[in-house]
């Protein structure tokens, strides 16, 4: 992968950002993350017209796959003598960093947008970590983080730029591939939700050399990866309202972009109604409560299946942290 | 187990109704049922104050653990040259028999109550099987089944009296014990929902000789096992309305009673509000959609945990077939 050279220069920790790095990360977090199941549903697959292998990271500690990268990153900082961590997040990375930091009795400050899911803010506070809410854009959160780094001497765990985080997120896809193989299957493609880009970047590492297509799925309201691929680099997009609170970052991270831009096969942009419908389908047919970000990936998988190019599709069901009022509202307003 | 002698006389298939019989059943259905995960949730366990090992049979084929017994029973009847099957059910056994029969291209007629969950009726019809709805009591359904057996030459697969069904249902608990052991745990108790009694009877077989307490949990609206244990045998109880449609049978089966009555450690009767609350807790914290029958067992486990007698509690999360309108209503009316 030619971008590997750039990444090394950017990151300073080349060994992590590779297929082997992801597998090393897996060994390091084994036993401290939940070995989540891969769920299939006959009813859902009948709707899809393809086999859907759902990596149920909604059942992960902290309710999302972000626990993986956060554990690695906090562990590294502890080893370096950190006195406290700070991170910006739409919520799930914040929950994961807060839980990992609590495990090491390390102070943690999390910077979330003002429109973060109430459930996510509450879960972070339950760990004893501090939550600051600042604006709705990535730039506004980063400004607060930069200030806290200098004024309070905190170490940053960026959700998109930290190599440990990206390699850690890749372990979800690595697990998925192993679980599908163990069940006698063989994936044609994986579909990942795209917010800041760590999931899709991690998947590019985890699938390297295996002939598996990697697709991103993002809300059409915030098409940050689509725009970046078109512009030849990360750009800030106009973010319109989306129920997928986890996918609201209006700009792809530089590191995820470097890792993914010439590896991803395609990116689906998903309308709000399709996100809601995918969430309902997974709830009713696969009996899993997932958050809209995860539903965005499922909706992408349904599009891929409908196009007929893939029969075995892995989906990163990234998380399950959703306000119950939103679930009720989606169930009350389902199309007849 | 002293009742074993009686059971042999009742059933005519003694080998099935034993610990070894359940393990033989497991081997026979392996690969044709989903190896469902055992899910734990830190948040739910914080609420419970104990470790809860949720056997997620809501992720089973047909959406419930009843697939296990139905596969065994249909297979036996196919071997005996059956030309079609009939079964009474509150819904899940019906879905399971319909799916198993469809697999063998065997006609199936399912007799459900008039107040069956809409989702369950629909799922049966989707398999191509015939649904008849008759009254709301067990006796009314049995009368229809008896008639169909003679007029249409169908073989009955009773959800409570068929030894293959009871042994098959026991495989869910056998799997659960193995999965907990593989994770380094050790159960103090298992809690099963009680409708006609096959789950708790199967669990008594699967836990035999292992020093694990077996608890039933039934709606206080339909306390059929509690009444049977008090009366010294199955009696028909007044059935009041309950959201736990799967637990509406107003009388415990004779066979489950014989297997369970001197083995069960206790039976919890659960109020409607506690069933609803357990369903919400599992949805929000464990991110699993479960039906009220399964929530009844979870509520029983919460009671057992609160009493402080068990630290590791296995719960048969029996199914996940629930009308979305009920889910929405439960989420809209949650206590503040």
pLDDT tens digits along B269-328: 999 999 999 999 999 999 999 999 999 999 999 999 999 989 999 999 999 999 999 999
Please list the pLDDT of chain A residue by residue as tens digits (336 residues).
333 333 433 444 447 899 999 999 999 999 999 999 999 999 999 999 999 999 999 999 999 999 999 999 999 999 999 999 999 999 999 999 999 999 999 999 999 999 999 999 999 999 999 999 999 999 999 999 999 999 999 999 999 999 999 999 999 999 999 999 999 999 999 999 999 999 999 999 999 999 999 999 999 999 999 999 999 999 999 999 999 999 999 999 999 999 999 999 999 999 999 999 999 999 999 999 999 999 999 999 999 999 998 999 999 999 999 999 999 999 987 654
Could you tell me the strand order of the sheet in which A51-56 lies? A38-39, A51-56, A312-317, A189-193, A213-219, A266-270
B120 touches chain A (CB under 8 A): no
CA B43, CA A232: separation in Å to the nearest integer?
43
Check if the beta carbon of residue B164 is closer than 8 Å to that of residue B72.
yes
B328 touches chain A (CB under 8 A): yes
Neighbours of A40 (CB within 10 A): 18
Residue of B34, B287, B324 to mutate for A, most A C-beta atoms under 10 A: B287
3-state secondary structure of A105: coil
Identify the pLDDT of residue B254: 97
CA B304, CA B313: separation in Å to the nearest integer?
8
Identify the pLDDT of residue B309: 84
Identify the pLDDT of residue B332: 85
Residues in chain A closer than 8 A to B42 (CB atoms):
61
Q: Which of A40, A59, A325 is the closest to B287 by Cβ?
A: A59
Residues in chain A closer than 8 A to B59 (CB atoms):
37, 39, 41, 286-288
Torsion sign (Cα): A133, A136, A141, A144: negative
Measured between alpha carbons, how far is residue B249 from residues A218, B197, B237, B272, B299 in Å? 47, 9, 9, 16, 19
CA A196, CA A218: separation in Å to the nearest integer?
10
How are beta strands A312-317 and A51-56 bridged, if at all? parallel
Identify the pLDDT of residue B32: 93
pLDDT at B333 over 80: no
A120 touches chain B (CB under 8 A): no
Closest-CA residue to B33 (of B72, B1, B79): B72
Q: CATH for B66-156? A: 3.40.50.1100
Instruction: For chain B, positions 14-43, list CB contacts with chain A under 8 A.
Output: 34, 36-37, 39-42
How are beta strands B213-219 and B189-193 bridged, if at all? parallel
Query: How near does any CA of chain B get to the CA of A235, in Å?
Result: 35
B47 touches chain A (CB under 8 A): no
Identify the pLDDT of residue B145: 97
3-state secondary structure of A294: helix
Q: Which of A34, A40, A324 is the closest to B284 by Cβ?
A: A324
Torsion sign (Cα): A71, A74, A76, A78: negative
CA B155, CA B169: separation in Å to the nearest integer?
20
pLDDT at B159 over 90: yes
Identify the pLDDT of residue B113: 96
Check if the beta carbon of residue B134 is closer than 8 Å to that of residue B116.
no
Q: Which of A36, A61, A287 is the closest to B289 by Cβ?
A: A287
Q: Which strand (E) or helix (H) includes residue A56?
A: strand A51-56
CA A177, CA A314: separation in Å to the nearest integer?
8
CATH of B3-65+163-332, one of 3.10.20.30, 3.10.20.80, 3.40.50.1100, 3.30.499.10: 3.40.50.1100
B231 touches chain A (CB under 8 A): no
3-state secondary structure of A188: coil
Check if the beta carbon of residue B54 is closer than 8 Å to that of residue B288.
yes
**Helical ranges in chain A per DSSP H:** 3-11, 19-29, 42-48, 66-79, 92-103, 118-126, 138-152, 163-182, 198-206, 224-231, 254-260, 272-285, 292-307, 324-332
Check if the beta carbon of residue A274 is closer than 8 Å to that of residue A25.
no
B58 touches chain A (CB under 8 A): yes
CA A247, CA A154: separation in Å to the nearest integer?
26
Answer yes or no: do B324 and A280 touch at CB < 8 A.
Answer: yes
Check if the beta carbon of residue A3 is closer than 8 Å to that of residue A254.
no
Q: Which of B59, B283, B332 is the closest to A289 by Cβ?
A: B283
Residues in chain A closer than 8 A to B325 (CB atoms):
331
Torsion sign (Cα): A209, A213, A216, A220: positive
Share of chain B above pLDDT 90, in %: 93
First-last CA distance in chain A = 48
Please list, residue by residue across A143-152, b when 16 or more beta carbons sit within 10 angstroms of its beta carbon and e when fewer do: ebbeebeeee
How far, rounded to the nearest angstrom, does the alpha carbon of residue A132 sit from its chain's CA centroid?
21
Check if the beta carbon of residue A190 is closer than 8 Å to that of residue A208.
no
Compute the half-sphere exposure of residue A104: CA atoms within 13 Å on the CB side of its CA. 24
Neighbours of A297 (CB within 10 A): 34
- The ipTM assigned to this model is 0.92
Neighbours of A1 (CB within 10 A): 16
- Dihedral of the alpha carbons of B218, B197, B230, B17, in degrees to the nearest 10: -150
Residue of A60, A125, A287, A323 to mutate for B, most B C-beta atoms under 10 A: A287
Q: Which strand (E) or helix (H) includes residue B314?
A: strand B312-317
Answer yes or no: do B287 and A286 touch at CB < 8 A.
Answer: no
- Provide the residue ranges of all domains of chain A, joining segments of one domain with +: 3-64+163-332, 66-156
Identify the pLDDT of residue B334: 67
Residues in chain B closer than 8 A to A324 (CB atoms):
280, 283-284, 331, 334
Answer yes or no: do A324 and B39 touch at CB < 8 A.
Answer: no
Q: Which strand (E) or helix (H) includes residue B213?
A: strand B213-219
The chain A residue lying nearest B324, using CA atoms, is A331
B242 touches chain A (CB under 8 A): no
- Dihedral of the alpha carbons of A77, A35, A210, A306, in degrees to the nearest 10: -120
Neighbours of B118 (CB within 10 A): 13
Identify the pLDDT of residue B74: 96
pTM of the model: 0.93
The chain-wide mean pLDDT, for chain B, equals 94
The chain A residue lying nearest B330, using CA atoms, is A328
Here the tokens at position A315 are 């989906």
CATH level 3 topology of A3-64+163-332: Rossmann fold (3.40.50)
Identify the pLDDT of residue A332: 85
Q: What is the mean pLDDT of residues B54-59?
A: 98
Each residue's pLDDT tens digit, B205-258: 999 999 999 999 999 999 999 999 999 999 999 999 999 999 999 999 999 999
Q: Which of A34, A39, A334 is the closest to B59 by Cβ?
A: A39
Identify the pLDDT of residue A334: 67
CA B57, CA A27: separation in Å to the nearest integer?
30
CA B94, CA B99: separation in Å to the nearest integer?
9
Q: Which strand (E) or helix (H) includes residue A193?
A: strand A189-193
Share of chain B above pLDDT 70, in %: 95
């Amino acid at each position: 992968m030619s971008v590997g050279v750039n990444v090394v220069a950017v990151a300073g920790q080349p060994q992590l950002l590779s297929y082997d790095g992801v597998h090393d990360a897996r060994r390091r977090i084994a036993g401290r993350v939940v070995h989540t199941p891969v769920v299939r549903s006959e009813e859902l697959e009948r709707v899809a017209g393809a086999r859907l292998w759902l990596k149920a990271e909604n059942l992960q500690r902290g309710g999302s796959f972000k626990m993986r990268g956060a554990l690695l990153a906090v562990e590294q900082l502890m080893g370096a003598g950190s006195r406290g961590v700070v991170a910006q997040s739409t919520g799930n990375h914040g929950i994961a960093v807060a839980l990992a930091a609590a495990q090491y009795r390390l102070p943690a400050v999390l910077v979330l947008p003002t429109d973060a899911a109430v459930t996510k803010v509450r879960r972070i506070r339950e760990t004893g970590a501090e939550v600051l809410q600042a604006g709705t854009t990535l730039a506004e959160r980063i400004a607060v983080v930069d200030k806290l780094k200098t004024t309070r001497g905190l170490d940053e765990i960026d959700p998109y730029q930290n190599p440990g985080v990206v390699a850690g997120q890749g372990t979800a896809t690595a697990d998925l591939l192993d679980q599908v193989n163990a069940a006698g299957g063989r994936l044609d493609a994986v579909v990942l939700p795209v917010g800041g880009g760590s999931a899709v970047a991690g998947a590019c590492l985890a699938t390297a050399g295996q002939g598996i297509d990697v697709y991103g799925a993002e809300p059409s309201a915030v098409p940050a990866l689509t725009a970046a691929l078109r512009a030849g680099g990360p750009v800030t997009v106009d973010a319109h309202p989306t129920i997928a609170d986890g996918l609201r970052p209006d700009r792809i991270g530089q590191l995820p972009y470097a890792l993914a831009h010439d590896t991803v096969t395609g990116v689906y942009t998903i309308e709000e109604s399709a996100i809601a419908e995918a969430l309902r389908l997974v709830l009713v047919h696969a009996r899993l409560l997932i958050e809209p970000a995860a539903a965005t990936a499922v909706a992408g998988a349904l599009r891929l299946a409908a196009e007929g190019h893939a029969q075995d599709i892995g989906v990163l069901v990234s998380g399950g942290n959703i306000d119950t009022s939103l679930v009720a509202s989606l169930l009350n307003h389902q199309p007849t």
